[in-house]
Amino acid sequence: MSAQKSASAKQPTAESAATTSSTTGGRKPWIKKTPVEVVLEQIGKQEEKVTEMRKELAREERELAKLQQARKVLEST
């Protein structure tokens, strides 16, 4: 008796399977990219990465300048 319940519980019903595929709409179709498009995408990602690293470097340089000023104040006293 319990074996029948567990077997029927494991099998998804057709109704639940139909609702999940219709609500999600499925995956969007795969569009093959040319090698040129791939390289241009990589260039764009690298430019974004470099821009973010420059911003981070600017923040770190400001922090360093503050700490150097604090050191000058501490050394002068």
Query: Where in the chain are the domains?
Result: 34-77
| pLDDT at res. 7 | 52
pLDDT digits (tens, 9 = 90+) for 1-40: 455 555 555 555 555 555 555 556 789 999 999 999 999 9
| pLDDT at res. 47 | 98
Q: What is the 3-state secondary structure (H, E, C) of the chain?
A: CHHHHHHHHHCCCHHHHHHHHHHHCCCCCCCCCCHHHHHHHHHHHHHHHHHHHHHHHHHHHHHHHHHHHHHHHHHHC
* Residue 42 to residue 71: CA distance in whole angstroms: 43
- pTM reported for the whole predicted model: 0.55
Q: What is the largest CA-CA distance in the chain?
A: 87
